[in-house]
Amino acid sequence: MFEQKYATSLVASSVGIDIQIILWELIAQWEKDEIQVDACQIFELSIEYAGGEVFQKIVHRQESPQRVEIFYYKTIRYPINAIIWVIGSEEGGKMMLPNEMKESDASTS
């Protein structure tokens, strides 16, 4: 479902490539671990501070089956606060921001 990887132009311009790669790798790890992967992967990113250092916190979750994992990365060049969705289909996975889904829905109605 996530073999081919796509990102919207908004993601490509506003999310660092290091973060994009990590998100794809997190999905791939679940697949490798033979975890049932939902078609909608949700990533909640926030900037965390601890001990004078900056960390990128990534909460990776899905609804069905319900699963949540939390990761902290110190090596992210430009940490961000954002929610990113990766929607899987037969064509592959598409990385997008939630407001892009709403805009896509509005343009089709």
> Has residue 108 got a pLDDT over 80?
no
CA distance 40 to 65: 11
Confidence category of residue 103, pLDDT binned at 50, 70, 90: low
How buried is 109 (Cβ within 10 angstroms: 0-12 exposed, 13-18 middle, 19+ buried)?
Answer: exposed
Whether the bond between 65 and the residue before it is cis, its omega within 30 degrees of 0, is: yes
Residue 9: count other Cβ atoms within 10 Å of its Cβ: 9
> Has residue 39 got a pLDDT over 90?
yes
For the stretch 61-100, pLDDT in tens is 999 999 999 999 999 999 999 999 999 999 999 999 999 9
Mean of the per-residue pLDDT values for the chain?
92
pTM for the model: 0.89
For 48, the domain range is 5-108
CATH number of 41's domain: 3.10.450.150
The fraction of the chain above a pLDDT of 90, given in percent, is: 90
What's the total number of domains in the chain? 1
CA distance 93 to 75: 25
What's the pLDDT at 101?
A: 76
Q: Can you say how many angstroms the Cα of residue 84 is from the centroid of all Cα atoms in its chain? A: 5
